[in-house]
Amino acid sequence: MAETRTITRDQIDGVYPKVAQAIADALAREVDECKPSASIIGDLGAESIDLLDIVFRLERAFKIKLPRNRIVKDARGELSEAQFEHKGILTDAGRARLQEYLSEVPADRFPKTLRVDDVPRLFTVETFCKLVARAQLEQASA
């Protein structure tokens, strides 16, 4: 598994305008609605199919590859699948690891019981900024 890199505020800010534009275009929203803290599903009204469209637009805009389920795989880090989740529900260790990885998401947005399938409900515009910045770093070091 690729090492998870820490992303700086400058890296996030550097990709934010293009990320916000891609999300706005995918969701037929105004770009100023796509603030870094905006929840993609809760605030901006995205559905699962929209997440695929957003990823496609980001790949095209930044000329990068964003493998599906990348966020969950990277968040899992060194935890085994069994340590991370059990029967589709994040374990306490998995929830803590995800919360650390998605540090941009307020703690009160993480339900006590979190299904792996519901993880995308946590994603914010900044989550996608971090995803793009990581992919750029990996591409540059490849």
Domains in the chain: ranges and CATH: 9-137 (1.10.1200.10)
| Interatomic CA distance for residues 120 and 115, integer angstroms | 10
Is 0.75 surpassed by the pTM of this model?
Answer: yes
CB 22 within 8 A of CB 61: yes
Q: DSSP character for 4?
A: P
Q: What is the pLDDT of residues 60-99, one digit of tens each?
A: 999 999 988 888 888 898 999 999 999 999 999 999 999 9
Looking at residue 38, its pLDDT comes to 97
Q: What is the pLDDT of residues 7-63, one digit of tens each?
A: 999 999 999 999 999 999 999 999 999 999 999 999 999 999 999 999 999 999 999
